Amino acid sequence: MKRISVFGATGSIGQNTLDLIGRDPDAYQVVVLTGASNVDQLAKDAIRFRAERAVTADPHQYAALKDALAGTTIDCAAGPDALIEAADCPTDWTMSAIVGAAGLAPGLKSLEQGRTVALANKESLVAAGALWNATTEKHGATVVPTDSEHSAIFQALIGERMSDVERVVITASGGAFRDWPMDKLASATPEQAATHPNWDMGQRITIDSASMFNKALELIEAKEFFGLKADQIEAVIHPESLIHAMVGFRDGGMMAHVGPPDMRHAIGFALSYPNRMDVPVARLDFTQSSQMTFRPADETRHPALALARRVMECGGLSGAAFNAAKEVALDRFIDKQIGFLDMARVVEQVLDRLDRDQALSCDAMTLDSVVHVDHLARDYAKTVSI
Ligand code: NDP
């Protein structure tokens, strides 16, 4: 029986992970489930999957969680420290699917156990790629990427040598506004941005898809995960979301990973790695008329992509600043304090300022140095005027 923990169990990735686990319950022992605000779902799943421990990140939800688990033997706890403690529980496999920089510290603690970590929380690699990779290596952990694009690259690279890789192409659906004229984007609302043409995901990542910040994060994530140079990675718009990524080799050949837009494929791949398992995603039928189209991802229309390139070239702590500023800009957009196009302006101003203050370089990245820059970037992003 595989002992597993799911961090961010109440979210979109977490629920898809539990969907797969629930199809073969005898194969898994659920150790820890975590959530934040959605205590009802957390308690319901903890009871259903007979988890050993349920943790909410929000200390104010502790009493509600305890009440919901009354009469069971499930341990319950609350707060960021309780998440890190829960990441210390021995497991064989851990899903890292908390949203945002909050996923970094529990993820690092999971790596310290030398276990297999399925990484959906792209912010960990964006904010602290060097630290994440060093921790993985030091503790002999295995990380299987669970972002669909990175799972696709990972799968295309099985049996290949990194020295033979020329380039990596990551596809982007283009999000809710891919066919909107530029002048309409300035007045786009959070409600409009939170609908996705192809994927069913959490609210924040769906808005990040519309602004291309999600793709920007993925470019940086790919650089860090696969040890690529900035000029080896490109994004291309592919509205059908059937090809998730392509890897080009030095002999001119390319491997493309094709599949339906359903996160359970990438999650199932990570759950069964290095084997494969039955996953109930739709099968593509190439006898039906269908098409795959591509167009350039224009960095003028999508300034988030230009900012990602800047971060990939600058390195150091610029990813931590980028991610933190992006999270605050997204909050401000959701709260209707700033417009859709202002999000990139906020992030650019934060990078400019911290660069001027020489806060982005570092010799050896530590959790403290990442957290320090994260706080600086958040403070400035909250107040910067557009
Ligand atoms: P959701 O918003 O759906 O879920 C986020 C999860 O994190 C929930 O369990 C939420 O709890 C929890 N959470 C929220 N805030 C905190 C916090 N401060 N501390 C601890 N836990 C917290 O997100 P997704 O599932 O969409 O995304 C999760 C991660 O996976 C993100 O990094 C995203 O970029 C990545 N990803 C997602 C994909 C998708 O298809 N959804 C695809 C590829 C990557 P609660 O709901 O109880 O408040």
The structural domain count of the chain equals: 2
Residue 98 alpha carbon, nearest atom of ligand 1? 7
Q: In terms of domains, do 120 and 86 share one?
A: yes
Q: From ligand 1's centre to the CA of 337, what distance in Å? A: 23
Answer whether residue 290 shows pLDDT above 90: no
The DSSP string of 217-259 is HHHHHHHHHHT--GGGEEEEE-TT--EEEEEEETTS-EEEEE-
> In which domain, by residue range, is 240 found?
159-261+293-383
Q: Where does ligand 1 bind, in terms of residues with CB under 6 Å?
A: 8-14, 35-38, 57, 97-99, 102, 120-123, 147, 199, 201-202, 204-205, 263
At residue 170, the 3 state secondary structure works out as strand
Question: Which pLDDT belongs to residue 279?
Answer: 98
Q: From ligand 1's centre to the CA of 11, what distance in Å? A: 5
Q: In terms of domains, do 168 and 137 share one?
A: no
Q: In terms of domains, do 214 and 104 share one?
A: no
Domain boundary among 145, 175, 190: 145
Helix axes 303-314, 318-334, angle to 10 degrees: 160
Question: Which pLDDT belongs to residue 386?
Answer: 83
Q: Which two tokens stand for residue 207?
A: 């808005």
Which residue in 2, 1, 18 sits closest to 10, CA to CA?
A: 18
Q: From ligand 1's centre to the CA of 204, what distance in Å? A: 8
Mutating to test ligand 1, I would choose from 32, 99, 262, 378 the residue with most ligand atoms within 8 A of its C-beta, which is 99
Residue 120 alpha carbon, nearest atom of ligand 1? 30
In a domain, 150, yes or no: no
In a domain, 287, yes or no: no
- If pLDDT is split at 50, 70 and 90, which confidence band does 154 have? very high
The mean of the pLDDT values for the chain is 96
Query: Residue 122 in contact with residue 204, Cβ under 8 Å?
Result: no
Query: Residue 319 in contact with residue 374, Cβ under 8 Å?
Result: no
Mean pLDDT of 239-266: 97
In a domain, 269, yes or no: no
Mutating to test ligand 1, I would choose from 18, 98, 327 the residue with most ligand atoms within 8 A of its C-beta, which is 98
Identity (one letter) of the amino acid at 85?
Answer: E
Cα 192 to Cα 372: distance, rounded to the nearest angstrom: 34
Domain boundary among 145, 167, 187: 145
Q: In terms of domains, do 178 and 62 share one?
A: no
Mean pLDDT of 276-303: 92
Answer whether residue 359 shows pLDDT above 80: yes
Q: In terms of domains, do 308 and 192 share one?
A: yes
Q: In terms of domains, do 254 and 173 share one?
A: yes
Question: Which pLDDT belongs to residue 196?
Answer: 83
Question: Which pLDDT belongs to residue 248?
Answer: 98
Residue 208 alpha carbon, nearest atom of ligand 1? 34
In a domain, 266, yes or no: no
Residue 147 alpha carbon, nearest atom of ligand 1? 43
- For 167-217, write each residue's pLDDT tens digit: 999 999 988 899 999 899 999 999 999 998 888 888 999 999 999 999 999
Q: In terms of domains, do 112 and 194 share one?
A: no
Q: From ligand 1's centre to the CA of 347, what distance in Å? A: 21
Which residue in 122, 129, 118 sits closest to 103, CA to CA?
A: 122
Cα 60 to Cα 54: distance, rounded to the nearest angstrom: 15
Alpha helices by DSSP H, the chain: 12-22, 39-48, 62-68, 80-87, 104-112, 122-139, 148-156, 182-185, 190-193, 203-211, 213-226, 264-272, 303-314, 318-334, 342-356, 367-383
Q: In terms of domains, do 120 and 248 share one?
A: no
Q: What is the pTM of this model?
A: 0.97
**Ligand 1 atom 36 nearest Cα:** 120
In a domain, 351, yes or no: yes
Q: What is the CATH number of the domain that holds 245?
A: 1.10.1740.10
In a domain, 285, yes or no: no
- For 44-70, write each residue's pLDDT tens digit: 999 999 999 999 999 999 999 999 999
The DSSP string of 335-373 is TTSS-TTHHHHHHHHHHHHHHHTT-S--SS--HHHHHHH
Query: Residue 78 in contact with residue 36, Cβ under 8 Å?
Result: no
**Percent of the chain beyond pLDDT 70?**
100
Compute CA distances 115 → 4, 46, 140, 193, 312, whole Å.
10, 22, 8, 37, 28
Helix axes 318-334, 122-139, angle to 10 degrees: 150
Q: From ligand 1's centre to the CA of 140, what distance in Å? A: 26
Q: From ligand 1's centre to the CA of 160, what distance in Å? A: 32
Q: Is the peptide bond before 274 cis (omega within 30 degrees of 0)?
A: yes
Q: Which helix (H) or strand (E) holds 198?
A: none
Compute CA distances 222 → 65, 84, 152, 158, whole Å.
37, 26, 11, 16
Cα 76 to Cα 27: distance, rounded to the nearest angstrom: 24
Q: In terms of domains, do 122 and 171 share one?
A: no
Q: From ligand 1's centre to the CA of 156, what distance in Å? A: 26
Q: In terms of domains, do 115 and 204 share one?
A: no
Q: In terms of domains, do 122 and 215 share one?
A: no
In a domain, 137, yes or no: yes
Q: From ligand 1's centre to the CA of 282, what distance in Å? A: 24
Q: What is the CATH number of the domain that holds 25?
A: 3.40.50.720
Phi/psi of residue 172, each to 5°? Answer: -130, 135
Cα 211 to Cα 12: distance, rounded to the nearest angstrom: 20
Q: In terms of domains, do 195 and 326 share one?
A: yes
In a domain, 123, yes or no: yes
Domain boundary among 115, 145, 175: 145
Which residue in 301, 235, 9, 275 sits closest to 144, CA to CA?
A: 275
Query: Residue 120 in contact with residue 97, Cβ under 8 Å?
Result: yes
